[in-house]
Amino acid sequence: MPITTTRRRLLAGSAAALALPAFARAQGAVKPRLTAISQWSAGSDGAAITALGKKFEEKGGIWQHSPVPGFTTEMMNKLRAQIIAGDPPACSQLKGPEIAAWSKIAPTVDLDSLVAAAGYEKVVAPDLAKLHKPAGKWIALPLQIYSTNMLFLSKRGMDKAKADKVPVTWADFNELAEKMKSAGMAYPLANGGTRPDDGQKFEASFAGISPTAYRTAIMNLDKKALQGPEIKAAFAQTRKIADWCDPNVGAQPYATNLKRFVDGDMGMLIMGGWAQGVLKNAGFKFDDFTIVPGPSDNGKPVFLLNADAFIFWQRKEADLQAGQTLMAQLVMDPAIQTMYSQITGSIPVRTDVDLSGAGWSDGQRRTAAALKDAVASNQAVLSLAHNMAQENGLTAAMIDVITEYVKNKTIKPEEAVTRLADAVESSR
Amino acid sequence: MVRRLPEFLMIWVPLLLSAAHLISFSIWTIWISFTPSTLIPVSGWVGLHNYTAVLASRNWQIAFDNLLLFGIAFVLFSLMTGLVLAILLDQRIRAENVLRSIFLYPLAVSFVVTGTVWSWLLNPGIGIEKLVHDLGWTTFHFDWLVNRDMAIWTIVIAAVWQSSGFAMALFLAGLRSVDADIIKAAQIDGAGPIRTYWRVVLPTLWPITITVIVIQLQFAISAFDLVRALTNGGPGIATQLPALVVYDLMFQRSQLGRGAAAAVLMLLILLAVLLPYAAWRYVQRRQANHA
């Protein structure tokens, strides 16, 4: 028998459908629901967020994640459109000072009581905590941490150079690079040619030379520190690094050189923990390389923080609000952070998670130990190259100077210092 | 009248809609360029501040210089290559269809793909330079892609490769439409093939040449995907072009106002090409009507 739909039946049906959410609210039986947008669609990032969604559903929630493939900026364009349309997602990925900037264009959720209930504040690095409560109240939650200045040492490269000592200071590093060069490696340092890649070389140099000067100059934009002797030394070290890098990479990502790194044609790599995941996916083993904290002239680890986070946008719907509460609790949960980091190669935001068990790599253990030490000695600072230290506009203006300096070896360090200070001044 | 209504709707409704879109978005962009907008559009008035900031920035200055060089070199080279290919194909050779398809093929490939492929070919570590080294000529040097002064020329190479076929197709159509009797007359008068082309055939191609120049120039001004895939504005910021600067300001740096100002500057550059062309067309039409 064919199904016939009369207009009246259709109208009645849609009226019932429209009334349903209101009816559910009236019953007080809301099912937590979360609308989320992020850039994490593929690879280990995609796998991790999918796993998080599964946990959300296990707790009885409805998980509605819309990934926007590409870079953070693509995700931001969708976020911008949704905010302008008055329909922000219940939560979205956002990190660094952008949290403060974006929180001014739409109302956010006050997470203070949830954070207090989880005892979260005590276990988060102070500089990181500040970013997520720009006006004094928690409005966003960090999800995972990377250090952008981890030093990867190639086992075969070390063997080739007959080196067994892990470099601690920049002097050690420079010595090892020279050693590798005399052992026949034309380019001892694996690199890419992208802007963040160049930025990472500079920030690792600067923070390794003086985390205090880095904090005042790059994070606080102090005029005097921006022209101080440490920043000049940082540019000089960056130039040394650039001379050890393959200039032929063009605009390609660092991953282009990973095989040469593992094969020992390039002995070292300065990169965040995410490179572990890329190496693993490319079929390389953890025996092929070692991960240690990047060079630090005072011997104590310097940690250049790069943290992914979620910001929570105010919604009136009861089910979305319940979803936000559930999501916040999940993100702060040590078990969830463990699961997430084990998939992506990052480390948990919580400094109290035990990484001794199976499922963690030595590199992750060393990264977590470095974070603990760095927080204790006040040497955990925010990464410039990965948009943690400044808003996008200022970051981009500074990276312009750095990337030009890395690629153009006729620019002198003191010239670069002046240009950087000018760039900061003109984009304020 | 009733019979012509469908045609009327088919042509004019879409045309008016597109025109309305174009004009309203242009006005919107111009308005934004005078506001202090950053993350989202806001109202307010900052006068020419965004324009002075963009014009003073190193990125824009480099982008503008690059645009001049790229625009002129790209148009000249693609015109020349296209014309030579068209003349060669015009010799009633065998397998003309196959060759024509081959020359036109790059046009079917998106600029992103072109850029990516050329970025591998031109990479000295893995591409052409390495190939020649491996063949035994070890002193061969071709590192333009990573050389700050020469990188802009790699974009010219890739862009010419992509669009010479387009110029060729237009020129070939022009060559084929030249009256065979005129060519025969020239031959009877004793002109050789080169002289025939130079004096008789090529002068008839002027309108096509102008069209090709204008189309290629507006591509050069709005070039984005090719550069993004090939050099991404690098090494450093050496191959910036205006479209990259606009994208960068709007979507990487969240400075909508400045991005809009840069976009308006691009529009002005485009008008500097299109207005003279429109004027030329107008004069041509009037002359044709008078004749």
CA Rg value for chain B: 23
Q: Find the helix or strand (DSSP H, E) in which B121 lies.
A: helix B111-121
Is B222 an 8 Å CB contact of chain A? Answer: no
Percentage of chain A surpassing pLDDT 70?
Answer: 93
Nearest-CA residue of chain B relative to A106? B40
pLDDT of residue A26: 44
Highest mean pLDDT among A49-58, B124-133, B201-210: A49-58
Nearest CA in chain B to A249: B123
- Residue A24 pLDDT: 47
B56 chain-A contacts, CB cut-off 8 A? 426
User: Residue B4: what pLDDT?
Assistant: 72
Please check the confidence at residue A10 and state whether its pLDDT lies above 60. Answer: no
Taking the Cβ of residue B255 and every Cβ of chain A, the question of whether any pair is shorter than 8 Å is answered with: yes
- Which parts of A190-267 fold into alpha helices (H)? 195-209, 211-214, 229-243, 258-263
CB pair distance less than 8 Å for B146 and A77? no
- Nearest Cβ partner for A251 among B57, B58, B119: B119
Residue A387 contacts residue A395 (beta carbons within 8 Å) = yes
pLDDT score, position B284? 85
- How many angstroms separate the CA atoms of A294 and A370, rounded? 10
Q: Kindly list the residues from chain A whose CB atom is less than 8 angstroms away from the CB atom of residue B39.
A: 80, 101-102, 104-105
Banded pLDDT at A7 (limits 50, 70, 90): low
- A104 chain-B contacts, CB cut-off 8 A: 39
Strand partners, B70: none
Instruction: Identify the bridge partners of residue A270 per DSSP, sorted by sequence position.
Output: A151
Is B253 touching A (CB cutoff 8 A)? Answer: yes
Percent of chain A with pLDDT over 90: 79
Is-contact A245 A219, C-beta < 8 A?
Answer: no
Output A428 or A240, whichever has higher pLDDT: A240
Partner-chain residue, chosen from A101, A246, A407, that has the shortest CB–CB distance to B125: A246
HEC per residue, B166-200: HHHHHHHHHHHCCCHHHHHHHHHCCCCHHHHHHHH
* DSSP symbols for A373-401: HHHHTT-EEE-TTTTSSS-HHHHHHHHHH
Residue A23: per-residue pLDDT: 46
Indicate the average pLDDT of chain A: 91
Per the omega criterion (within 30 degrees of 0), is the bond before A293 cis?
no
Residue (of B194, B39, B279) closest to A102 by Cα position:
B39
Tokens 């079917």 sit at which residue? Answer: B108
Q: Cβ contacts (< 8 Å) between B112 and chain A: which residues?
A: none
pLDDT at A4: 47
pLDDT for res B1: 52
Asked if the model's pLDDT at residue A178 lies above 80, the reply is yes
Specify the pLDDT at position A127.
86
Residue A99: pLDDT band (50, 70, 90) is: very high
Nearest CB neighbour to A193, from listed B39, B234, B254: B234
Average pLDDT over residues A85-114: 95
Burial of A76 (0-12, 13-18, 19+ CB in 10 A): buried
**Per the structure block, which two tokens stand in for B9?**
């709707």
| Cβ distance of A396 and B253 shorter than 8 Å | yes
**What's the pLDDT at A28?**
55
Mean pLDDT, range A290-299, rounded to an integer: 96
- Range name among A4-18, A195-209, A230-244, A320-334 with the lowest pLDDT average: A4-18
Q: Angle, nearest 10°, between helix axes B206-222 and B151-176?
A: 150
**B235 contact A CB<8A:** yes
B116 close contact with A: CB closer than 8 A: no
The arithmetic mean of pLDDT across residues A135-161, rounded, is: 96
Closest-CA residue of chain A to B249 = A393
Contact criterion met (CB below 8 Å) for B152 and B69: yes
Q: Which residues of B touch A246 (CB under 8 A)?
A: 125
Alpha-helical segments (H) within A40-165: 43-58, 72-84, 98-103, 112-118, 126-132, 155-160
Residue B267: how many other CB atoms lie within 10 Å: 15
Q: Which of A16-30, B179-193, B218-232 has the highest mean pLDDT?
A: B218-232
* pLDDT over threshold 80, residue B46: yes
End-to-end alpha carbon distance in chain A: 72
Return the H-helix or E-strand segment holding A93: strand A91-93
Mean pLDDT value across residues A405-427: 93
Backbone angles phi, psi at B205, to 5 degrees: -90, 0
pLDDT of amino acid B201: 84
Q: What is the average pLDDT across A373-400?
A: 93
**Interface residues from chain A to B (CB-CB < 8 Å):** 73, 76-77, 80, 83-84, 98, 101-102, 104-105, 193-195, 246-252, 391-393, 396-397, 400, 403-408, 426
Structure tokens at A152: 């990867």
Instruction: Please provide the average confidence, as pLDDT, over all residues in chain B.
Output: 89
Interface test with A, best of B39, B40, B120 (most A CBs within 10 A): B39
DSSP reduced 3-state for B1: coil
**C-alpha to C-alpha distances, A400 to A52, A385, A420, nearest whole angstrom:** 36, 11, 9
Dump pLDDT digits (tens) for B143-172: 888 888 899 999 999 999 999 999 999 999
Nearest CA in chain B to A251: B231
From the list B38, B39, B145, the residue facing A250 with the nearest CB is: B145
Of the candidates B39, B122, B231, which has its C-beta nearest A105's C-beta? Answer: B39
Q: Does A84 sit within 8 Å of B59, measured CB to CB? A: no
Q: Are A64 and A297 in contact (CB under 8 A)?
A: no
A66: exposed, middle or buried (Cβ count in 10 Å: 0-12, 13-18, 19+): middle
Region B40-44: what's the mean pLDDT?
88
CA distances from B243 to A304, B114, B260, B262 (A): 33, 18, 11, 8
> A369-394: buried (b, 16+ CB within 10 Å) or exposed (e) per residue?
ebbbbbbebebbbbbbbbbbbbbbbb
Q: How far is the C-alpha of A99 from the C-alpha of A76, rounded, in Å?
A: 11
- List Cα–Cα distances, A310 to A35, A69, A130, A179, A365, in angstroms: 12, 17, 14, 44, 24
pLDDT above 70 covers a percentage of chain B that reads: 99
Please write the tens of the pLDDT for every residue from B79-132: 999 999 998 998 888 888 899 889 888 888 888 898 989 988 998 888 899 899
Judged by CB atoms closer than 8 Å, whether chains meet at A250 and B148 is answered as no
Provide the sign of the torsion angle of the four alpha carbons B274, B279, B285, B291, taken in this order: negative
pLDDT tens for residues A211-231?
Answer: 999 999 999 999 999 999 999
Averaged over B228-245, what is the pLDDT? Answer: 89
Q: How far apart are CA A423 and CA A221, in angstroms?
A: 11
CA distance B215 to chain A (A): 29
Is the per-residue pLDDT at A27 higher than 70? no
Q: What is the ipTM of this complex?
A: 0.76
Under 8 Å CB pairs connecting chains A and B tally to 87
